[in-house]
Amino acid sequence: MARVLMCKANISEGRRKEVLEEVAAAVRAVPDVTLADWSGDPDHNRAVYTLLGPPEAVLEGAKALTSVALERIDMATHAGEHPRMGAVDVVPFIPLREVETEEAVEIARSFGAWLGEQGVPVYYYEDAATRPERESLPKIRKGQYEALAEKLEQPEWEPDEGPAEFNPKSGATVTGARFPLVAFNVNLVTDALDVAQTIARAVRHINGGYRYVRGMGFALEDKGMVQVSMNLTNYTKTPIHRVLETVRSEAARYGVAVAGTELIGSVPLGALEDVVRFYLQTHEFSTDQVVETALLD
Amino acid sequence: MARVLMCKANISEGRRKEVLEEVAAAVRAVPDVTLADWSGDPDHNRAVYTLLGPPEAVLEGAKALTSVALERIDMATHAGEHPRMGAVDVVPFIPLREVETEEAVEIARSFGAWLGEQGVPVYYYEDAATRPERESLPKIRKGQYEALAEKLEQPEWEPDEGPAEFNPKSGATVTGARFPLVAFNVNLVTDALDVAQTIARAVRHINGGYRYVRGMGFALEDKGMVQVSMNLTNYTKTPIHRVLETVRSEAARYGVAVAGTELIGSVPLGALEDVVRFYLQTHEFSTDQVVETALLD
Among A55, A49, A58, A59, which Cα is nearest to A114's? Answer: A59
Q: Among A194-203, A252-261, A262-271, B155-164, which stretch is predicted with the lowest mean pLDDT?
A: A262-271
Question: Helix, strand or coil for residue A227?
Answer: strand
Whether A289 and chain B come into contact, CB under 8 Å, resolves to yes
Instruction: Give the count of alpha carbons within 13 A of B217, CB side only.
Output: 19
Considering only CB atoms, A263 lies closest to which of B241, B244, B289, namely: B289
Give DSSP secondary structure letters for B73-133.
--GGG---SS--SBSEEEEEEEEEES--HHHHHHHHHHHHHHHHHTT--EEEEETT-SSGG
A2 to B295: CB separation less than 8 angstroms, yes or no? yes
Neighbours of A25 (CB within 10 A): 12
Which residues, other chains included, contact B54 with Cβ-Cβ below 8 Å and sequence gap of 6+?
B2, B3, B4, B5, B32
| B292 pLDDT tier (thresholds 50, 70, 90) | confident
Cα B9 to chain centroid distance, Å, stands at 10
| Spatial separation of the C-alpha atoms in residues A109 and A123, rounded to whole Å | 10
* Per annotation, catalytic residue among B78, B82, B205, B283: B82
| Spatial separation of the C-alpha atoms in residues B153 and B159, rounded to whole Å | 10
Whether A295 and chain B come into contact, CB under 8 Å, resolves to yes
Whether B285 and chain A come into contact, CB under 8 Å, resolves to yes
A292 to B4: CB separation less than 8 angstroms, yes or no? yes
Q: Is the dihedral of CA A184, A189, A191, A194 positive or negative?
A: negative
Q: What is the mean pLDDT of residues B44-66?
A: 96
Beta strands A122-126 and A173-177 are parallel
Considering only CB atoms, A296 lies closest to which of B6, B180, B295, namely: B295
Amino acid A1: pLDDT? 54
Among B10, B18, B19, B21, which Cα is nearest to B62's? Answer: B10
A292 to B50: CB separation less than 8 angstroms, yes or no? no
Distance from CA of A271 to the nearest CA of B (A): 9
Among A75, A65, A82, A74, which Cα is nearest to A20's? Answer: A65
Which residues does chain A have within 8 Å of residue B241's beta carbon, measured at their own beta carbons?
Answer: 279-280
Considering only CB atoms, A97 lies closest to which of B6, B292, B297, namely: B292
Considering only CB atoms, B267 lies closest to which of A4, A52, A291, namely: A291
| Spatial separation of the C-alpha atoms in residues B215 and B205, rounded to whole Å | 9
Among B80, B77, B106, which Cα is nearest to B93's? Answer: B106
Question: Helix, strand or coil for residue A32?
Answer: coil
What is the DSSP-derived secondary structure letter of residue B181? P
| Spatial separation of the C-alpha atoms in residues B20 and B10, rounded to whole Å | 11
Per the CB < 8 A criterion, the answer to whether B11 and B69 are in contact is yes
Whether A189 and chain B come into contact, CB under 8 Å, resolves to no
Q: What is the mean pLDDT of residues A108-132?
A: 97
Distance from CA of A31 to the nearest CA of B (A): 14
Whether B267 and chain A come into contact, CB under 8 Å, resolves to yes
Whether B2 and chain A come into contact, CB under 8 Å, resolves to yes
| Spatial separation of the C-alpha atoms in residues B297 and B294, rounded to whole Å | 6
B292 to A291: CB separation less than 8 angstroms, yes or no? no
Question: What's the pLDDT tens digit per position in B3-50?
Answer: 999 999 999 999 999 999 999 999 999 999 999 889 999 999 999 999
Per the CB < 8 A criterion, the answer to whether B187 and B260 are in contact is yes
Q: Which of B50, B256, B295, B296 to mutate to test the interface with A (most CBs of A within 10 A)?
A: B295
Alpha helices in chain A (DSSP H): 17-28, 55-72, 101-117, 137-141, 148-151, 193-203, 240-252, 269-280
B287 versus B198: the higher-pLDDT residue is B198
Q: pLDDT exceeding 70 applies to what percent of chain A?
A: 99
Question: Helix, strand or coil for residue B210?
Answer: coil
| Spatial separation of the C-alpha atoms in residues A254 and A259, rounded to whole Å | 14
Whether A288 and chain B come into contact, CB under 8 Å, resolves to no
| A129 pLDDT tier (thresholds 50, 70, 90) | very high
Beta strands A4-11 and A46-53 are antiparallel
Which residues does chain A have within 8 Å of residue B50's beta carbon, measured at their own beta carbons?
Answer: 294
Considering only CB atoms, B6 lies closest to which of A244, A283, A291, namely: A291
Q: Is the dihedral of CA B276, B282, B286, B292 positive or negative?
A: negative
Whether B288 and chain A come into contact, CB under 8 Å, resolves to no
What is the DSSP-derived secondary structure letter of residue A94? E
Whether A267 and chain B come into contact, CB under 8 Å, resolves to yes
Question: Helix, strand or coil for residue B215?
Answer: strand
| A161 pLDDT tier (thresholds 50, 70, 90) | very high
Question: Helix, strand or coil for residue B19?
Answer: helix
Considering only CB atoms, B263 lies closest to which of A279, A285, A293, namely: A285
Amino acid A270: pLDDT? 92
Torsion of CA A200, A206, A207, A210, to 10 degrees: 70
Distance from CA of B295 to the nearest CA of A (A): 7
Question: What's the pLDDT tens digit per position in A221-276?
Answer: 999 999 999 999 999 999 999 999 999 999 999 999 999 999 998 899 999 999 99
Per the CB < 8 A criterion, the answer to whether B251 and B179 are in contact is no
**Size of chain A, expressed as the number of residues it contains:** 297
Question: Known catalytic residue: B78?
Answer: no
Question: What's the pLDDT tens digit per position in A135-155?
Answer: 999 999 999 999 999 999 999
Q: What is the mean pLDDT of residues B174-178?
A: 97
Per the CB < 8 A criterion, the answer to whether B180 and B97 are in contact is no
Distance from CA of A267 to the nearest CA of B (A): 5
Amino acid A39: pLDDT? 92
Alpha helices in A177-237 (DSSP H): 193-203
Distance from CA of A45 to the nearest CA of B (A): 25
> Position B249: which residue type?
S
What is the DSSP-derived secondary structure letter of residue B267? B
Amino acid B1: pLDDT? 54
Per the CB < 8 A criterion, the answer to whether B272 and B217 are in contact is no
| Spatial separation of the C-alpha atoms in residues B217 and B229, rounded to whole Å | 6
B268 to A291: CB separation less than 8 angstroms, yes or no? yes
Which residues does chain B have within 8 Å of residue A244's beta carbon, measured at their own beta carbons?
Answer: 280
Distance from CA of B126 to the nearest CA of A (A): 21
Neighbours of B194 (CB within 10 A): 11
Which residues, other chains included, contact B159 with Cβ-Cβ below 8 Å and sequence gap of 6+?
B116, B121, B122, B123, B152, B172
A244 to B34: CB separation less than 8 angstroms, yes or no? no
Task: Measure the CA angle with vertex A55, ends A110 and A36; round to 5°.
Answer: 115
Per the CB < 8 A criterion, the answer to whether A158 and A164 are in contact is yes
Does residue B113 have a pLDDT over 70? yes
Distance from CA of A69 to the nearest CA of B (A): 24
> A126's torsion region: left (phi>0), alpha (psi -120 to 50) or beta?
left
Considering only CB atoms, B52 lies closest to which of A37, A281, A295, namely: A295
B52 to A262: CB separation less than 8 angstroms, yes or no? no
Domains of chain B, start order: 4-177 (3.30.990.10), 182-296 (3.30.70.670)
